[in-house]
Structure 1
Amino acid sequence: MQPPPPGLALLPLLLLAAVGPPPSGALEPISVGIAIGAASALTGYLSYPGFYCGFVECCPGEQDRPNGTALRLNLDAKLFGQHLAKEVILKALTGFINNPNPKKPLTLSLHGWAGTGKNFVSQIIAENVHKAGLKSKFVHLFLSTLHFPHDHEIKLYKDQLQKWIRGNVTACAKSVFIFDEMDKLHPGLIDATAALDYREQIDGVSYRRAIFIFLRSVTSSVWLKALWLQVNMCVKEVEPLGKGTFHRSKHSGLWHSSLIDRNLIDYFIPFLPLEYKHVKMCIRAEIQSRGNEIIETVVQKVADEMTFFPKEERIYSVKGCKTVQTKLDFY
Structure 2
Amino acid sequence: MFIFDKFDVMPSGLIDTIIPYLDDHDNLNGINYRKAVFIFISNTAATEIQHQTISFLHEGKERDSIQLKDMEVLVTKAAANLKAILVNIIRIKIVCFKSGNYKLLIVNFLHSDSFYHIDVLLRYMITAYIPFLPLERKHVRQCIKDYLLLKKYYTSYGDIPEEKVREIAEQLHYFPEEEQLFSTTGCKRVPSKTCYIMEED
Same fold (TM over 0.5): yes
1:328 and 2:194 matched: yes
Contact conserved, 1:283 with 1:324, CA < 8 A, in 2? Answer: yes
Q: CA deviation at 1:271?
A: 1.0
Deviation at 1:283, TM superposition (A): 0.8
RMSD: 3.0
Residues 228 and 266 (structure 1), Cα distance of their counterparts in 2 relative to 1, 3 Å cut: farther
Partners of 1:219 and 1:306 in 2: CA distance: 23
Question: Aligned equivalents of 2:126 and 2:45: distance in 1?
Answer: 22
> Which amino acid is 1:254 matched to?
H
Q: Please, which of 271, 277, 280 is the counterpart of residue 141 of structure 2? A: 280
Question: Which runs of 5 or more structure 2 residues have no equivalent in the other structure?
Answer: 57-62, 83-112
Retained in 2: the 8 A contact 1:183–1:216? yes
Q: Establish whether residue 182 from structure 1 lines up as the match of residue 44 from structure 2.
A: no
Q: Is the contact between residue 248 and residue 255 of structure 1 (CA under 8 Å) also seen in structure 2?
A: no
Choose from 109, 117, 121 the match for 1:254.
Answer: 117
Matched to 1:255, the amino acid is: I
Q: How much does 1:211 deviate?
A: 3.0
Aligned to 1:304: 170
Structure 1 runs of 4+ with >4 Å offset: 186-189, 227-231
| 1:212 paired residue number | 38
Q: Which amino acid aligns with 2:186?
A: G
Query: Is 1:294 aligned to 2:160, yes or no?
Result: yes
Return closer, same or farther for 1:306/1:203 CA change in 2, 3 Å cut-off: closer
Give the deviation of 1:308 after TM superposition. Answer: 0.8
Q: CA shift at 1:317, angstroms?
A: 0.9
Quick one: structure 1 residues 204 and 270, their matched pair in 2 at CA, closer, same or farther if it must change by over 3 Å? same
Q: For residues 194 and 298 of structure 1, do their structure 2 counterparts lie closer, same or farther at Cα, with a shift above 3 Å needed?
A: same
Write the deviation string for residues 141-191 of structure 1: whole angstroms up to 9, x where unpaired. xxxxxxxxxxxxxxxxxxxxxxxxxxxxxxxxxxx4332221213569636
Q: Within 2, Cα distance between the matches of 1:308 and 1:233?
A: 20
Contact 1:309 1:318 in 2 (8 A): yes
> Which amino acid in the other structure matches residue 216 of structure 1?
S
Query: Which structure 1 segments of 5+ residues have no match?
Result: 1-175
Residue 194 to residue 266, structure 1, CA distance change in 2 (3 Å): farther
**1:183 touches 1:252 (CA, 8 Å); kept in 2?**
yes
% identical aligned pairs: 32
From the CA coordinates, give the structure whose radius of gyration is larger.
1
| Conserved 8 A contact 1:228-1:272 | no
